[in-house]
Amino acid sequence: MEDSYVYKGLRKKLVDELSSKNIFSKEILDAIMKVPRHLFIAKGFEQLAYKDKAMPIEAGQTISQPYTVAFQTQMLNIKQGDKVLEIGTGSGYQTAILVEMGAKVFSIERQKELFNSTFLLLNNLNYHPQLFYGDGYLGLPTYSPFDKIIITAGAPFIPEPLKKQLNIGGRMVIPVGEKSQKMILLEKKGENNFDITEHGIFKFVPLIKGKTQ
């Protein structure tokens, strides 16, 4: 797996750009400095990997814009050892950032080919999250509760199973909406007590029910 000083230089520029856009968490910026984003995007797009832009990956999906990854991660307030559930593994870039930050990551992807290729990539890069091929709407009841839950696709509503699988005191970050999404931060205060706040408008590929064959 290829990294180089050129890519490292570009990553540093990206980190500076994100700090100027109000990403202040040192842990997040350090993780972005470490993860070789050019290996997570479609072949031929490597030169653009460190622009603050979303990019195509396999199966008609996208790798989220670095700012969006950083923003969602910052809202999660990740602590070393946090048990984190991610819905929408996609390229695995967000997954790798969370692993770099010392989280214990569980991630679900509904597209079989994407699941397979990302499984190999993360392994080759020596990242070892627990990856699942399945429907993220259902979460992972057997592994719950989670300290943090991040959804990286646009959800029409907040799935009830995910609210259940969040620890009390835990946080969920989920973009909610159809064409564009409001970034919602849900803080679980009690079994049936949630604080919900909105944090700007974003654009994600849709969260789709069920999994592919």
Site for ligand SAH in 145-174 (CB under 6 A): 152-153
User: Whose Cβ is closer to ligand SAH: residue 36's or residue 88's?
Assistant: 88
Q: Which of 108, 122, 131, 166 binds ligand SAH (CB under 6 A)?
A: 108
- Length of the chain, in residues: 213
Q: Which two tokens stand for residue 11?
A: 């990553």
DSSP β-ladder status, 166-176 and 104-109: unpaired
Choosing from 4, 20, 25, 64, the catalytic residue is 64
Binding map of ligand SAH across residues 37-76, x = CB under 6 A, - = no contact:
------------------------xxxx------------
Long-range pairs, 197-204, Cβ under 8 A, ≥24: 199/71, 199/75, 202/68, 202/175, 203/154, 204/64, 204/152, 204/153, 204/154, 204/175
- Closest to 107 in 3D by CA, of 126, 87, 83, 77: 87
- Which position's Cβ is nearest ligand SAH? 90
DSSP collapsed to 3 states, 102-126: CCEEEEEECCHHHHHHHHHHHHHCC
Beta carbon nearer to ligand SAH, 15 or 204:
204
CB of 169 to ligand SAH, least distance (A): 24
Smaller CB distance to ligand SAH: residue 38 or 110? 110
Provide, rounded to whole angstroms, the least separation between the CB of residue 208 and ligand SAH: 4
CA nearest 56: which of 91, 92, 17?
91
| Cα separation, 130 vs 120, whole angstroms | 12
Residue 91 annotated as catalytic: no
Q: Which of residues 110-139 bind ligand SAH (CB under 6 A)?
A: 110-111, 114, 135-137
What is the set of active-site residues? 64
Residues forming contacts to ligand SAH in the complex (CB under 6 A) are 61-64, 87-88, 90-91, 93-94, 108-111, 114, 135-137, 152-153, 205, 207-209
